[in-house]
């Protein structure tokens, strides 16, 4: 087993790769020619997921990879050659602030361990560049709110890598819910998990990750519960299970089951784990219908059905669509169907904090986002 959620997500959809590629080819062929402004992006942190984003951006029409930031000289050399990035657009973590003088870069996408997002996003804002953070945006609410304030003060936009907010099948379910096709929403279930590998990786270090499975994979269920029901939870209960206290040390959650209550009376039951493979399912139930998605959040293809039949929207390259949509948000103030700004990220972090408190105390915790 590979070492991270991203490696896991890469593998989950492999059996349906032919279908995905066919759908993606079809999707690509239907896109219109674009002659508007192109968002020129530097990626900061050149790890596995950054590579996926960089590769995906090769098919973007509204965004382009033009810069690199890394603490590894070897990576800068290899990446600049692979993606044809000029030396003047390559930075290390020490001279990164000089990016303020580079007029060829509009935005910086921070794809580093969770605890480093805060500093890099604030440095990005002070350099006058639009800031994009991978999720979770920060390791706590205080950091996230400081990031929002820093970007607002600098007059730059702050976006978060919620790629599922642009995924066609997901958006179709949200549309159906908004138009009342499921009737009154009663229940949501979100199952998110995989068996994590290398015990020395940063995701199992609380000072770098800000937690464990909840911060890494459970956030999909937290966020999904919100956009699938269209409501914000008002209470949380949670139960933690830990079978390996050596691997999952203090401050690193292995498995958490958590429940939400919503103002309408709807409820949610979710699971986040680093100790079970193949958990990637959303289920939404209403008085007149349902939606089931499995896989629901991996890199593709997303599969799903409702009481009306199979979801047939095309598969897409999530990161490519995300970056093109980010360009529209930054240049044209486009409002996406599901928010992808810093305030959206703060809501998730407030709920995750409530989940941790409920798991620790065994009590029902009120939450206001």
For the annotated catalytic residues, the residue numbers are: 135, 220
Residue 278's Cβ-side half-sphere holds a number of Cα atoms within 13 Å equal to: 1
C-alpha span between 340 and 166 (Å, rounded)? 10
C-alpha span between 24 and 140 (Å, rounded)? 36
DSSP notation for 307-335? TTEE--PPP--HHHHHHHHHHHHHHH---
| Residue 268 near residue 281 (C-beta atoms within 8 A) | no
Tell which residue, 267, 277, 110, 139, has the closest CA to residue 205. 139
**200 contacts: CB under 8 Å, gap ≥ 6:** none
- What sign does the CA torsion over 88, 92, 98, 101 have? positive
From the CB of residue 241, how many other CB atoms can be counted at a distance below 10 Å? 14
C-alpha span between 32 and 59 (Å, rounded)? 13
Cis peptide before 295 (omega within 30 of 0): yes
């Amino acid at each position: 087993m590979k070492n991270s959620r991203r490696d896991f997500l890469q593998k989950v959809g492999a059996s349906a790769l032919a279908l995905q590629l066919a759908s993606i080819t079809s999707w690509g062929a239907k896109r219109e020619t674009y002659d508007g402004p192109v968002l020129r992006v530097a990626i900061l942190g050149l790890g596995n997921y950054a590579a996926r984003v960089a590769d995906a951006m090769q098919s973007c029409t509204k965004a382009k990879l033009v810069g690199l930031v890394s603490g590894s000289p070897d990576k800068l050399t290899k990446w600049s050659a692979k993606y044809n990035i000029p030396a003047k657009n390559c930075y290390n973590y020490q001279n990164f602030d000089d990016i303020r003088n580079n007029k060829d870069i509009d935005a910086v996408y921070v794809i580093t361990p969770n605890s480093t997002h805060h500093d890099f996003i604030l440095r990005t804002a002070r350099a006058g560049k639009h800031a994009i953070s991978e999720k979770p945006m920060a390791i706590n609410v205080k950091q996230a709110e400081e990031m929002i304030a820093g970007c607002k003060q600098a007059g730059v936009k702050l976006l978060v890598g919620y790629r599922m907010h642009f995924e066609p099948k997901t958006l179709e379910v949200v549309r159906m819910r908004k138009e009342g096709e499921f009737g009154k929403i009663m229940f949501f279930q979100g199952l998110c998990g995989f068996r994590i590998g290398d015990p020395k990786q940063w995701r199992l270090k609380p000072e770098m990750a800000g937690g464990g499975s909840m911060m890494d994979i459970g956030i999909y269920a937290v966020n999904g519960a919100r956009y699938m029901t269209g409501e914000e939870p008002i209470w949380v209960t949670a139960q933690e299970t830990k079978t390996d206290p050596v691997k999952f040390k203090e401050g690193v959650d292995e498995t958490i089951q958590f429940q939400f209550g919503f103002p309408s009376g709807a409820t949610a039951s979710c699971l986040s784990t680093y100790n079970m493979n193949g958990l990637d399912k959303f289920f939404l139930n209403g008085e007149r219908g349902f939606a089931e998605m499995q896989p629901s959040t991996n890199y593709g293809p997303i599969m799903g059905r409702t009481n009306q039949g199979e979801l047939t929207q095309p598969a897409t390259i999530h990161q490519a669509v995300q970056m093109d949509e980010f360009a529209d948000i930054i240049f044209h103030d486009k409002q996406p169907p599901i928010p992808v700004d810093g305030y959206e990220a703060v809501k998730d972090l407030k709920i995750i904090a409530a989940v941790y408190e409920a798991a620790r105390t065994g009590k029902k915790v009120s939450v206001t986002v």
